[in-house]
Each structure stands twice: as C-alpha cells, then as structure tokens.
Structure 1
Amino acid sequence: MADLQSVLRGARTRLSEAGVSSAALDARILVEHFSGTAREDAILRPSLELAGRIVQTIEQAVERRAGGEPVHRIIGEREFFGLPLKLSAETLEPRPDTETLVEAVLPFCRETAAREGECRILDLGTGTGAIALALLSQVPEAHAWGVDVAPGALETAAANAEALGLSGRFAPTLSDWWEKIEGCFHLIVTNPPYISGTEMEALVDEVRRFDPTRALYGGVDGLDAYRKIATGARRHLEKDGLVALEIGWQQGDAVSALFVAEGFEPAGRFRDFGNNERVLLFR
C-alpha cells in the first residue's frame, strides 16, 4: 500500500524524467482515473491509503505514458463537448478543435429542428461518434446517421451512443463514404482524413504511433476525402441544407474550390482555439 500523495509524487517524477511536457497533469489524470479519487482528495486527504493492486495498475499506466502512449489512450476515453467518449484502436481521439465544427452548425441544427420538427444529420467518418453525439445531446429533435468504413469504430460509436442515452436517435452505418448511403439530410458533417504525405512524416510520435493511419492520411495532397465528399454531397443534401467540414489549417482555399466546382456556395469559415482556420460551411 501507499498513500495518495506519494503515488502522485512518484508518477509526476517518473513522467518528468521521461521528458513528458505535461507530466503533472498527466500524472493527476492517471492517478485519479485508476484510483477512483478526485482532485480535492489530493488536497484534503493526501494520506489516503491506496491498495497495492491499485498502485501497481497506476505504475503500469505511468510506464505506458512514459513510453509515449497518449494519456487518453491509456484510460480509454476522452471528453468532447462535455460528453465522455470511449476510444478504441480504430478511432481518433476527438480533439477540442473539432468542437469548433459543433459550435458552427448548432444554430442551423436548432433552426431546422424548430422549422421542420426534426433535423437529419449525416456524420461521415464518425469515429467515436463525437460530432453526431454532441449535436444530438444539444438538439432533442435531431437524428443522426454515423458513417464509417471501420467496423470497430462503429462499435465504439454505438457503445458511446448507448452510454449517453442517445442510441434511439443514432444509427451506425457501415459504408465507404457514399457507397451505401440513401436519402437526403438537412446537415452533412465530417472530420475526414486530411493529413498529406509530407505532413504524415512530420507527425509527432503520439499521433503517428497511436492514432489509426486510415483516419489521418488524406492522400498525397491531403484532399482525397474532400474530393469524394464533394462529388456525392449534392444528391444527399436537402434543399437549403448545409455541409460542414473540418479542414487542415492551410486547406481552406483548396477545399473551397473543390466544393464551388460542384455547385456549392460558401456559407462560413471558422477558426479554432489556436486561431487556425478549421471549419468550412457550404450550401
């Protein structure tokens, strides 16, 4: 057995020695998750004794982090738009920058639901279900179809929907982009693979080693997925519908040109928390 304070201190020290820049934060996340404690326990109950098996589990998790594995991969979940989402090997970690897309389309989603009595959402490349589930959590009249080519990702998204009480309005759909999609939607959203060949080589180890390549690599120029999305979106979009895409920070003009060539009109450009252009809207 060991007390909470010493376990926290040991975890911070080990991660600092391993060169982890966020050593203090990551140590706290790992210790709290595997011990079932909260932040205030470290202040109010530093001498709290932790069972030997818990200490061993924490030490194993700390070693994984010291070896470069992302902290949220280790605990198996990450929060997105206030929702706890389980991760799996076939899903990306949902990042805070993607919340920009949710914020950008929420007004349209709410207006559509108020006017039509529903809002049908197609989430292409749904992964954990992050974008679709965030929108469903905010708009009770909305229904979403989460599309992915990876069965494991769909299983994860379905499990997340079930855990959040949203499974009745979320339909996991196995399809390679438009291949098996039928009908029209008020809103099409996507965070597709958009990393170019050159950028793949420069990715940090935590992303390159632990995020699924299929969800990252967008072809030599990073635009392959956008070409496929642009060519199919019109026949699956309701009149006055909206398409929203996450993009790489330098891809705005190139992606916009692809959609304008398919007859779309630009409807908005949004920047993320780092002030990088991150989301494009089209009608």
Structure 2
Amino acid sequence: MTSIPRALSRATEQLSKSSDTPRLDAELLMAAALGIGRDRLILDDPRGEAPAGFVEFVERRAKGEPIAYITGHRAFWTIDLEVGPGALVPRPDSETLIAFAVEYFSGTAGPRRVLDLGTGPGTLLLAALDEWPKATGLGVDASEAALAYGRRNAERLGMYRRAEFRIGDWADGIEEKFDLILCNPPYVAEGAETGAGVLEYEPHEALFAGPDGLDDYRRLAPVIGGLLAPGGIAGIEIGFDQADAVAGLLEQEGHNATLVRDLGGRPRALCIKG
C-alpha cells in the first residue's frame, strides 16, 4: 500500500498532464476517497495508507471526467450540491449572479419569489433560497435528469417545502411574476473549444446554443422582462465576449441592461430591472 502523502504526490504528477490544477484535483479526490472534506485533509495531514478507491478516482480524472462527477458533489456559494451525469457542473463564475443579487437587495427583506430558468441541479435557485430563508422559488429545466438532482438537493438541504422544480421550455406556461430571476442559459457556440472533459462528459444541451451561442438569448429576451415583479431584477449569465450582443437583444425589447463583471474583471452577467 502507498501512504497518503506519497499517493498525493504521484497523483499530482499524473494529473499534471491533463489538468491545470493537478494538486488541487488530487487533494479533492483523496478527501472524497477518505470520506472527509479537503480542509480536514490539509489541516489534519493524515499519514495513513491511501484508500484503494483513490487510484480509480485519479484514473477517471486523468481521462477528463469532471471531479464533481467523480465525487458526486460540488460546492457553490454557501451550499453543497449533488451533481452527476446529465447535470451541468456548477461553475464559480455563476456565483456572480448571486453576489449581484445580494448587493441589490442589501438593506431590504430580500426577494420573496425566485425563478431559476435552466436550474440544472438547482444551482442558482437553492443558493438564493439559502441566502434568503423566507423566500420560495421555482426552478425550470428541460432535463428530467437534471431536475432529479435538483429535487434531491432541495431535500438534503432542507428546502423541499420552499423549492418547486418543473420540467419546461424556458418561460413557456409561466404567468407568475418574480422578485428575482436567475438564468444561466447555454451560450457556447457550436464548434467552439471547451475545457478538458467538458465536451465528453457534460450535457451538450446545457452548453451549446447555435452557431454564435446566442440562440437561447434570442428566446429569453422577449419574455424575461414580463416575468419580473416591480422592483425586481433578472440576472442572466453570458460568455465573456457576448455582452454587446446580448445587451442588444435585450435593448430591442426595451430593457436597459447593466453589465456585471466577475472577480477576475471579465464580463459575466447582464441584469435588468422590473
């Protein structure tokens, strides 16, 4: 058997050929194999033998499989989400939408009703409900597989009474108005380069949106404003080079969009007010 420190070193070397963050990947996989959090792995510095499952985890990661699919979980904002095949892996970039909403509702009671269009495993909806414990919300997605994760996440996080999940085609059939609308639509252009493992493992319907990546924005722009309650906001995630194009689509519908940048200073979202 191999000691944990030695196994981590070997895994880091192996993953350096396929990952930009080989040491981080190795630590996350080791923590999952041990059944502990990465923080405990680092702080306690366990010196026992590496669990047998760790080797398999590393081999899967070396082939490009997302870590979240291997471990079955992904941290997002203040919550931990169950994820797996059929559900888009939550990205830290999407936290920009929650951060902007927190700033917007600062000093108020917060939103009462939240809508997450393209909710996936409940990512933005459940993060918002965790932020505002008195809020309730609706998550809509075209994938039953993704919604199954969302429902389980709501149950595990104790939000099942506050979160409803519905199969749907964007806003079709929704007549209610919401104080906060969150949306991370597919925005990758067909044929564009993606990160390692993304194309091979994650659901294409949650990633790609036509030749220019704008197909779903064209569908959302005419309807999203009509779902906003007075004083509410809608935050729509965008690709780093899509701000002008998506803002133009929203302006055609009479919306003055505000650009929001992520922590790296990159254009990350457009927000409109009700």
TM-score by structure 1 length? 0.88
* Residue in 1 that maps onto 2:7: 7
State the SS of the aligned residue for 1:147.
strand
Letter in 1 for 2:13: T
Q: Are residues 222 and 43 of structure 1, via their aligned partners in 2, closer, same or farther at CA, if it must alter by over 3 Å?
A: closer
Letter in 2 for 1:137: D
Aligned-residue offset at 1:40: 5.2
1:161-200 equivalences under 5 Å are 161-199=154-192
- 1:277 alignment partner, one of 244, 248, 267: 267
CA distance in 1, matches of 2:45, 2:259: 48
- Cα RMSD after superposing both structures: 2.1
CA distance in 2, matches of 1:123, 1:46: 41
CA deviation map 1:46-90 (0-9, x unaligned): 54245xxx31x1111111111121222211111000311111222
CA distance in 1, matches of 2:185, 2:75: 20
- 2:225 alignment partner, one of 234, 241, 253: 234
Between structure 1 and structure 2, the one with the greater Rg is 1
The alignment-based identity, stated in percent, is 36
- How many residues align structurally? 272
Letter in 2 for 1:220: P
2:233 pairs with 1:246: no
CA distance in 1, matches of 2:205, 2:187: 10
CA distance in 2, matches of 1:216, 1:76: 20
Aligned-residue offset at 1:27: 1.2
Q: Are residues 43 and 242 of structure 1, via their aligned partners in 2, closer, same or farther at CA, if it must alter by over 3 Å?
A: closer
2:21 pairs with 1:30: no
Larger helix proportion, structure 1 or 2? 1
2:126 pairs with 1:133: yes
Unaligned runs of 5+ in 1: none
Q: Are residues 2 and 181 of structure 1, via their aligned partners in 2, closer, same or farther at CA, if it must alter by over 3 Å?
A: same
- 1:147 alignment partner, one of 102, 123, 140: 140
2:253 pairs with 1:257: no
Aligned-residue offset at 1:25: 1.6
1:78-227 equivalences under 5 Å are 78-109=74-105, 113=109, 119-199=112-192, 202-227=193-218
Q: Contact conserved, 1:109 with 1:187, CA < 8 A, in 2? A: no
Greater mean deviation of Cα atoms: 145-154 or 163-172 = 163-172
Q: Contact conserved, 2:115 with 2:137, CA < 8 A, in 1? A: yes
Unaligned runs of 5+ in 2: none
